[in-house]
Amino acid sequence: MAKIELQGLVKTYGQTRAVHGIDLTIEDGEFVVFVGPSGCGKSTTLRMIAGLEDISGGTLLIGDEVVNQREPKQRNIAMVFQNYAIYPHMTVGQNIGFGLYTSKLSKAEKQQRIAETGKILGLEKLLDRRPAALSGGQRQRVAIGRAMVRDPVAFLFDEPLSNLDAQLRSQMRMEIKSLHRRLGTTIVYVTHDQVEAMTMADKIVVMRDGHILQVGSPTDLYENPVDIFTARFIGSPSMNMLEANLSKGALAIDGVAVSGLTLPAHEGKVTVGLRPHDLVVGEGSSPALSASGLVEAVEPLGSETLVHVMIGKTLVTATAPGRVVPAVGSTISVHAEAGALYLFDAASEKALGRA
């Protein structure tokens, strides 16, 4: 196990800069998830940590040692790839054991490790099978097994669940999380799926265009996003954004009645963020924000219904609790309580505070 430190890490491809000098400390035993849209630099950063990409600038430390110039094999890290990368010409046992290829352990010790790893991952009966005879989830477990067997200082996961169906993904999320609890090894995990990030991470790193936008616990990021991008990226369904004007302590939003809010000191155009779960269908007893609009679409989810309503000129998503499903085309009221509003500067898109 080891601490990983990124100090001003830069990656350039010719004239194009993919990662712009990022700083981050990943504590020993921490589960850190890099999240962001495609092309944000998260996989490149992971590959630099793995040693699969040259570092163009900055310093990378693993366990307090600078490893910029070290080959992947010298860093004692293990990596699980998006496409599993389990070798089709080897059995499950050989695949798991391949992680020990360069190890100096005796053959018996290697066999013991393979058997132990197979048992932990529920693969003990499949050790003689070829990958072609395995399901997606089993293949993913083999890939994790090959990483585990070496006892590395850190695991790197590069979108490992993106090829699995929704049900299996959810199951594997829990398995990886419990594996982390059991092994206590540092994990750096890359995904574009914010649900994975929220459910698994101790610490989430939100990236965009090669920059780190925010680092924090899932709750931190959900409750206190630093900008509109993070606010929209974290949380599902994504946050509603309404254009508004803040002038002399009064907030004006097109088609919305606002009252009793403690607003941040700011003058000018702002963007008001409202999570769909905070914008509830109905009048409410003493709402801080209320509006009415035409129902454009509904998504019944069983326990609740997501309702797409036109408020002013903006289509927002609200939640109807229980089994109430408003009719498409009808006019309904929505409301939100004080404290549910996120205010952002319209120009800089930076957070101004909650209201």
Partner 1 sequence: MTATTTSATELAANRRDIRPGRIITWTLLLIGGLIMVTPLLFMFSTSLKTAGQVYDLKLIPAAPTLDNYIKVLGDGRFMQWFLNSTFIAITVTASNVFFDSLVGYTLAKFEFRGRYFIFLAILSTLMIPTEMLVIPWYLMSSQLGWLNSYWGIMFPGMMTAFGTFLMKQFFEGVPNDFLEAARVDGLNEFTIWWKIAMPMVVPAISALAIFTFLGNWTAFFWPLIVTTSKELYTLPVGISSFSAEASIQWELIMTGAAIGTIPTLLVFLALQRFIVRGVMLAGLKG
Of residues 53 and 175, the one with the C-beta less far from partner 1: 53
**315 belongs to the binding site for partner 1 (CB under 8 A):** no
Our finding on whether 87 is near partner 1 (CB under 8 A) is yes
Report, in this order, helix, strand and coil percent for the chain, each rounded to 5.
25, 35, 40
CA distance 334 to 274: 12
> Considering beta carbons, is residue 59 or 82 the nearer one to partner 1?
82
Spatial distance between the Cα atoms of 159 and 80, rounded to a whole number of angstroms = 8
Of residues 27, 101, 217, 219, which one binds partner 1 by CB under 8 A? 101
Report how far residue 274's alpha carbon sits from residue 278's, in angstroms, rounded to the nearest whole number: 7
Q: Which of residues 121-150 bind partner 1 (CB under 8 A)?
A: 146, 150
d(CA 242, CA 271): 6
Structure token digits, residue 301: 């989810």
Query: In what helix (H) or strand (E) does residue 169 lie, and over which residues does it extend?
Result: helix 166-183
Give the strand order in the sheet containing 57-62: 16-26, 4-13, 57-62, 65-66
Q: Is position 325 an interface residue for partner 1 (rule: CB under 8 A)? A: no
From the CB of residue 235, how many other CB atoms can be counted at a distance below 10 Å? 21
Per CB under 8 A, does 88 bind partner 1?
Answer: yes
Binding mask 50-79 for partner 1 (x = CB under 8 A): xxx------------------xxx---xxx
Piece of 18-26, 36-44, 80-88, 321-329 that binds partner 1 (CB under 8 A)? 80-88
- Residue 181 CB, shortest distance to partner 1, in Å, is 24
Residue 192 binding partner 1, by CB under 8 A: no
Of residues 15 and 102, the one with the C-beta less far from partner 1: 102
* Chain residues that interact with partner 1, rule: CB under 8 A: 50-52, 71-73, 77-79, 81-85, 87-89, 98-99, 101-102, 146, 150
